[in-house]
Copies of this chain bind each other. A is one copy, B any other.
Amino acid sequence: MAHVKHMKWWGWGEEGVHFEYANKPAFAPFVKHALDVDLRPRQRDTIDFATVNVPASRAENALLEALTAITGAEYLALDDELRIVHWAGKSVTELLLTRAGDFARVPDVVVYPGTEDEVAQVLRLAVERDFVVIPFGGGTSISRSLQPDPREERTIVSLDLGRMNQVLSIDETSGLATIQAGVLGPDMEEQLNARGWTLGHFPDSFTHSTLGGWAATRSSGMQSDKYGDIADIVRGLRVVRPGGTVVLRPLPSTSTGPSLREMIIGSEGRLGVITQLDVHVHRIAEHREVIAYMFPTWQQALVAMREIARSGVSTTFARVSDAHETAFSLSTQKAPATLKKKVTAKGQDLLWEVMRRRGWDTDAMCIAYVCFEGSKAEVQGGKKAVAGIVKKQGALVLGAGPGALYDQKKFDTPYLRDFLLEQNTIGDVSETAAPWSRLTTVHQAVYDAAQRAFESQGKTGWIMSHMSHSYHAGACLYFTFGYEIGEDPHGEYAAIKSAIQQAFIDAGGTLSHHHGVGLEHSPWMEQDVSPEGVQLMRSLFAAADPGGHFNPGKIVG
């Protein structure tokens, strides 16, 4: 589809972009140490689409004609590659299935409506002709929020919002922008930046995900400490349903009963299709600095993060890696290629020396990054206040150098998963949020559970974590884990991923802080929001979509 950019059908991001390790001398030894995997040179740059078999479209001609009458033939796609692009998100399970060409059920047709009215016509048709609609933003979901039920007998239509990609207006007095749901992160920021504004919402998926997708899956960006979760950012919505359009005007706050806004956010397509949003926008900050700090221990780091959150100091983000992730992070540093970088590397050696002299256990230390935005004075004030807090917890201030590095590579991580899959190795993520008082418990419980699961599967596994997204009452813990694939890729993955998810719940965390539910996390819904909570949610979905036409089976079955 000429008008809409899509990711590669077989993995993350753009064709031709890959994770590289040749320039990261510590990476291969790290992988050997952590996963007992010997990295080989990259085998292939892409996967030939001709190698997979795609189930034929089941859409009947009459239905295709009716859809064509709505969008025009130009915006209807039946070809196999586009149907596979739309068949699922980028979870490990979906990537494994895609690479194996194991497509139980894929969308029969992709439609690209250009207007809200066209969306409405498609939804009305879905009820009339009894087909299924799965709304599609950028396709970055890692919670299986897009993958159709393999048993679905009805026609499946993937509704791609990609043509609805404009910033429609900015209310500069109120700091509100009205934006179409299908806009990709970078396209939206470009339109906002051109007028001096930003949304400030940067999830890891940013380059390939959409505003509507962020709202539909309850996203949170890495800068949520300043800019808020998507539920804070979105103030108004237009949501097309077969019976009409829910229009929630942009309001700072309101007491109009149960929050429809908060019902639609996170609804993953089950309550209709979000077409337009009113969102908080901010003037681009004059100055921005990311400062790095090194803590002697994880416990001290968490205390500092909590005290930063409570201090009233305005930070854009505050993130700390545990000892494992700190070690990993150092392993992905590039070899110093320039004189300036060699000097920095030299500085790093000196730093190591300082830490050794202080008696630190270098296997326990944790690197943290805190971002400050504002006027020069505000940034200076923030840095000073945070330095005071972290020093009380024994940290060293490393300064702005490593912070700048952090800012550069922030959207590259998802490519690592495809690289590892090529190496017959899983690298995946799972995240939670919990009250401050539970964070060390959750962290330890997840490490223990993962270790037991690795052992039960006969694996040398690796797990690491960082804390980010601070709130008054707690924060997010984000885990990355890896292991070499054995004979039962899906069974092994399910065992290990499930052990981590279960540890979240058992230790007082939630099934996900910002990846949504989909099919992937649905099994933990009853434990997270209670059986009666699931019952209430199920009642809502059943009442709102009695025919089960809109992304059925997601969140709660």
Interface of A toward B, CB cutoff 8 Å: 171, 173-176, 217-220, 229, 231, 235, 241, 243-268, 271, 280, 306, 310, 312, 314, 374, 378, 433-438, 469, 471-476, 508-517, 521, 525, 528-533, 535-537, 539-540, 542-544, 555-556
Nearest residue, chain B, Cβ from A524: B256
Given known contacts A262-B262, A473-B176, A257 and B537 CB-to-CB distance under 8 angstroms: yes
> Once the chains are docked, how many angstroms separate the CA of A268 from the CA of B510?
27
Nearest residue, chain B, Cβ from A250: B435
> Can you report 18 A-B residue pairs in the complex whose CB atoms are below 8 A from each other?
A173-B437, A174-B474, A175-B436, A176-B435, A218-B255, A235-B473, A246-B533, A247-B532, A247-B533, A248-B530, A249-B510, A252-B473, A253-B433, A255-B513, A256-B266, A258-B271, A280-B472, A543-B543
Expressed in whole angstroms, the minimum distance between the Cβ of A505 and any Cβ of chain B is 9
Nearest residue, chain B, Cβ from A218: B255
Whether A475 contacts B262 by the Cβ 8 Å rule is no
Given known contacts A231-B259, A525-B256, A536 and B251 CB-to-CB distance under 8 angstroms: no
Whether B260 contacts A537 by the Cβ 8 Å rule is yes
Nearest residue, chain B, Cβ from A542: B543
Expressed in whole angstroms, the minimum distance between the Cβ of A276 and any Cβ of chain B is 13
Contacts of A469 in B (CB 8 A): 253
Whether A536 contacts B263 by the Cβ 8 Å rule is yes
Contacts of A533 in B (CB 8 A): 246-248, 260
Contacts of A544 in B (CB 8 A): 536, 539-540
| Neighbour of A433 across the interface among B175, B252, B433, B555, CB < 8 A | B252
> Once the chains are docked, how many angstroms separate the CA of A473 from the CA of B437?
33
> Once the chains are docked, how many angstroms separate the CA of A229 from the CA of B555?
28
Expressed in whole angstroms, the minimum distance between the Cβ of A370 and any Cβ of chain B is 16
| Neighbour of A265 across the interface among B258, B266, B515, CB < 8 A | B258
When all copies of this chain in the complex are counted, the total is 2
- Ranked 8 nearest A-B pairs via Cβ: A262-B262, A252-B474, A244-B532, A252-B471, A539-B543, A174-B435, A218-B255, A543-B543
| Neighbour of A246 across the interface among B174, B259, B530, CB < 8 A | B530
Contacts of A254 in B (CB 8 A): 218, 433, 510-513, 528
What 14 new A-B contacts, CB under 8 Å, besides A248-B529, A259-B262?
A173-B435, A174-B438, A229-B253, A246-B530, A250-B435, A254-B512, A254-B513, A255-B515, A256-B521, A256-B525, A257-B537, A258-B537, A258-B555, A543-B543
Given known contacts A258-B540, A263-B258, A271-B258, A251 and B434 CB-to-CB distance under 8 angstroms: yes
Given known contacts A263-B262, A540-B540, A525 and B253 CB-to-CB distance under 8 angstroms: no
Contacts of A310 in B (CB 8 A): 175
> Once the chains are docked, how many angstroms separate the CA of A251 from the CA of B529?
11
Whether A473 contacts B267 by the Cβ 8 Å rule is no
> Once the chains are docked, how many angstroms separate the CA of A514 from the CA of B176?
22
> Once the chains are docked, how many angstroms separate the CA of A75 from the CA of B246?
44
> Once the chains are docked, how many angstroms separate the CA of A434 from the CA of B516?
30
> Once the chains are docked, how many angstroms separate the CA of A525 from the CA of B513?
32
Whether A173 contacts B436 by the Cβ 8 Å rule is yes
> Once the chains are docked, how many angstroms separate the CA of A231 from the CA of B525?
22
> Once the chains are docked, how many angstroms separate the CA of A255 from the CA of B517?
7
> Once the chains are docked, how many angstroms separate the CA of A471 from the CA of B175?
10
> Once the chains are docked, how many angstroms separate the CA of A241 from the CA of B536?
10
Whether A473 contacts B280 by the Cβ 8 Å rule is yes
Given known contacts A248-B533, A437-B173, A513 and B253 CB-to-CB distance under 8 angstroms: yes
Contacts of A248 in B (CB 8 A): 529-530, 533
Contacts of A176 in B (CB 8 A): 435, 473
Contacts of A259 in B (CB 8 A): 231, 259, 262-263, 265-266
